[in-house]
A and B are shown apart, each in its own frame.
Chain A
Amino acid sequence: MDFFKLFSKEDVASKEIAKERLKLILVHDRANVSPKFLEMIKSQLINLISDYIEVEEEGMEVKLTRIKKDEEEEDTTVPALVANIPIKRIKNIARV
């Protein structure tokens, strides 16, 4: 254990925070997607799914992020579109 680390306030070096923030910003910049575009995808997703599943619209989240390319290599990440869709109820029509 590094005795002198006890005196440092933060555990994570601030450059790591800078790097993470920057990478996420650049995912958005490079993909050139606006919040409006993400909203569009979100409302179309709701339209599509709601025939089968009743979703909780307020809790729904669609965002661009980065995921690990494969489990072993920690450093290689790829941009990903992630949708979080909380389910209220699955409609009968879906249970064929």
Chain B
Amino acid sequence: MGQVIVITSGKGGVGKTTATANIGTGLAHFMRKRVVMIDTDIGLRNLDVVMGLENRIVYDIVDVVNGECRLKQALIRDKRFDNLYLLPAAQTKDKTAVSPDQMKKLCEQLKEDFDYVLIDSPAGIEQGFKNAIAGAEKAFVITTPEVSAVRDADRVIGLLEAAGFEEPKLIINRIRPDMVKKGDMMDINDILDILAIGLLGVIPEDEKIVISTNRGEPAVVDEMSRAGQAYRNITRRIEGEDVPLMSLDVEPTLFEKIKMFFGFRSKR
């Protein structure tokens, strides 16, 4: 029996889909797990594009719950890893095309066959969010170090706890160590203090994410990518390994080197 994990955020554009793609690929490739990812963003599907599988879609989640095809027919096998699958969202329907009960049934079915069922949630806290969390046992909340994103994460954590999720875990995305160092970006501890939940991982801002999304190949398999490294660490933590946070130190800039040379020390 596998486990069902929902990846959600409240705010849009903080990296839910990218996180789902990378964690799913990481669990499949590095941990050799059988993984299925479900895109529940009906009407605005994107996980297929991030995975580079957009040309292979025949059936989608709405077809499955309406009984227009069998579940197996709608699952798309990843182009590189044969133990990784995607159940795409419908692009032409809306969020009411699926009900929370149908999601529950679907997740029950999928966890018989897979070690991990990862659910990519839509932004917002309405019907689509309720569908996304309906069949899940665990929740990962993703945020960026911005006031608006952390605020929405707080709201979502409250809703998850009210829905019976015991310990949602936090992923902090797009941290810029250089800005944190200058005191111009909230750091990990600032955010953890405010949200008061456990940390699953921290992803540094990384241009490689843009490049990998252009290609439709998640950065987690890119050995050179810092964000990829962070996602590899997350997949190991999900599997129960104790992996320390990667160092986010930045090289001192030339200006700082000059300051150090003259003996000025930063107070921070």
Contacts and interface: CB of A to CB of B under 8 A. Distances in A.
Interface string A7-20: 00000011110110
Nearest to B184: A14
B259 A4 contact: yes
**Could you say which interface size class chain B belongs to?**
20 to 34
Given A2-B264, A21-B147, A22-B147, A15 B155 contact: no
A26 interface: yes
Contact of B151 (A2, A15, A16, A22): A22
Interface residues of A, number: 16
Nearest to A3: B264
**Binding site secondary structure of chain A:** helix
A22 to B, nearest CB: 5
A41 interface: no
Interface in B81-119: none
A25 B194 CA distance: 11
A29 interface: yes
Given A4-B264, A19-B190, A14 B183 contact: yes
Interface of B: 146-147, 150-151, 154-155, 158, 180, 182-187, 190, 194, 259, 264, 266-268
A15 B264 contact: no
13 contacts: A2-B266, A2-B267, A4-B264, A13-B182, A15-B180, A15-B183, A15-B184, A15-B187, A18-B147, A22-B151, A25-B147, A26-B154, A29-B151
Contacts of B154: 26, 29-30
Contact of A15 (B158, B185, B267): B185
